[in-house]
């Protein structure tokens, strides 16, 4: 589930390898991920637009789409059901886990993340291309949806009412969790989900590369209790997936992602 740039260099020309650029930035960051993709990318990569592959009927940002929408959007990217997907982002391992999680949720079997992202590809002297990308459309069909990988607001409310053994981990920067720094979305106030714990996603990597398994286990060991269902949260469901990916990488923890995260929790509990 985690590959390095040297493996990708060796295998990138294989017919069943599909590379996706899933770069994404917070709304208060003055960067355009799609524009940057056109300026420089791994050869053959298609752009996975996290904000576009989403539920457009929801008032919340980039929520999971329905099966039909996902199939249409992924067909437009030329991805086939049996492809080996290699997902990366420009900033190490930040938003690529979000795309990884979505494909896992919709039952795609072979999904990998490029450790270190575009930076690692450059360090391996990988070729860079630019301009528009020609895409041969496909007829993508999802596998069996893994409902257990997603936690909804209703699920979380019920867990709390039933006093189930859960552990909510918040991947936002700790200063946001502690209500020191403001949220990047103007309509969303400071705070955190009651009973949650801070586990800043940046603690999981070193210079854009995921830390080794023993280091990751030590980090999570200090934050979770055995036999508790782990719910990964953040601001809007992006960096939460970095926690989910790391948990999946090191163990068989029972985890899920709270898709709506703090944005939804704030709007629904303070209305």
Pair (152, 249) in one structural domain: yes
Give me the domain span that covers residue 157. Answer: 147-269
Beta strands 205-206; 209-210: pairing state: antiparallel
The answer to whether residue 16 is domain-embedded is yes
Indicate whether 239 pLDDT > 80. Answer: yes
Claim to verify: residue 183 and residue 91 sit in the same structural domain:
no
Tens digit of pLDDT for each residue in 251-269?
868 899 999 999 999 999 9
Q: In sequence order, what DSSP letters do the residues of 235-246 get, joined into one string?
A: SSSSTHHHHHHH
Q: Does 156 fall in a domain?
A: yes
Average pLDDT estimate for 182-210: 94
Say if 141 falls within a structural domain.
no
Considering the domain boundaries, does residue 142 fall inside one?
no
Domain stop point among 89, 123, 157: 123
Main-chain phi, psi angles of 149, to 5 degrees? -85, -5
Nearest to 169 by CA among 245, 211, 231, 216: 231
**Which residue matches tokens 């704030």?**
266
The yes-or-no answer on residue 241 being catalytic is no
The stretch 219-224 carries a mean pLDDT of 86
Q: How many domains does the chain have?
A: 2
98 and 183 assigned to the same domain: no
Domain-embedded: residue 116 = yes
What is the β-pairing status of strands 166-170 and 229-233?
A: parallel
CA separation for the pair 240, 245 (Å, rounded): 9
Confidence (pLDDT) at 109: 92
Residues 9 and 112 in one domain: yes
Q: Where does the pLDDT of residue 1 fall: very low under 50, low under 70, confident under 90, or very high at 90 and above?
A: confident
Instruction: Say which residues have a Cβ less than 8 Å from residue 191's Cβ, sequence separation at least 6.
Output: 179, 262, 266
As given in the structure block, the two tokens for residue 161 are 């009412």
pLDDT tier, 62 (very low <50, low <70, confident <90, very high otherwise):
very high
For 180-190, the pLDDT digits (tens) are: 999 999 899 99
Question: Which pLDDT score is estimated for 252?
Answer: 67
Domain-located, residue 82: yes
CA distances from 220 to 3, 15, 182, 251 (A): 22, 38, 26, 11
CA 92 to chain centre: 12
Which of residues 123, 155, 186 is at a domain's end? 123
Q: Which of 89, 167, 232, 234 is catalytic?
A: 234
Q: How far apart are CA 57 and CA 53, in angstroms?
A: 12
Do residues 177 and 250 share a domain? yes
In a domain, 77, yes or no: yes
Q: Evaluate if residue 129 carries a pLDDT over 70.
A: yes
Mean pLDDT taken over the chain: 94
Please report whether residue 129 resides in a domain.
Answer: no
Answer whether residue 55 shows pLDDT above 70: yes
| Residue 211 DSSP label | P
Which of 61-65, 88-92, 153-157 shows the lowest per-residue confidence on average (mean pLDDT)?
Answer: 88-92
Tokens 């752009």 sit on residue = 47
């Amino acid at each position: 589930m985690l590959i390095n740039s040297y493996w990708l260099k060796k295998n990138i020309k294989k017919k069943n390898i599909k590379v996706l650029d899933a770069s994404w930035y917070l709304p208060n960051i003055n960067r355009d991920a799609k524009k940057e993709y056109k300026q420089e990318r791994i050869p053959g990569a298609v752009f996975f637009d996290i904000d576009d592959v989403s539920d457009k009927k929801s008032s919340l940002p980039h929520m999971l789409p329905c099966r039909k929408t996902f199939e249409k959007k992924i067909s437009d990217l030329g991805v086939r059901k049996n492809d080996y997907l290699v997902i990366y982002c420009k900033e190490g391992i930040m938003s690529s886990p979000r795309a990884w999680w979505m494909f896992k949720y919709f039952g795609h079997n072979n999904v990998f993340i490029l450790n270190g992202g575009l930076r690692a590809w450059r360090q391996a002297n990988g070729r860079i291309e630019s301009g528009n990308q020609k895409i041969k459309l496909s007829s993508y069909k999802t596998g069996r949806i893994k409902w257990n990988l997603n936690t909804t607001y209703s699920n979380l409310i019920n867990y709390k009412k039933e006093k189930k053994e859960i552990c909510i981990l918040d991947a936002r920067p700790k200063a946001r969790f502690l209500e020191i720094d403001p949220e990047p979305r103007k309509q969303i106030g400071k705070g955190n989900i009651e009973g949650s714990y801070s586990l800043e996603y940046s603690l999981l990597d070193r210079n854009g590369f995921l830390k080794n398994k023993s280091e990751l286990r030590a980090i999570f060991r200090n934050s979770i209790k055995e036999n508790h269902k782990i719910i990964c949260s953040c601001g809007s469901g992006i960096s939460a997936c970095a926690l989910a990916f790391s948990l999946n990488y090191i163990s068989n923890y029972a985890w899920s992602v709270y898709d709506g995260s703090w944005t939804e929790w704030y709007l629904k509990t303070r209305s």
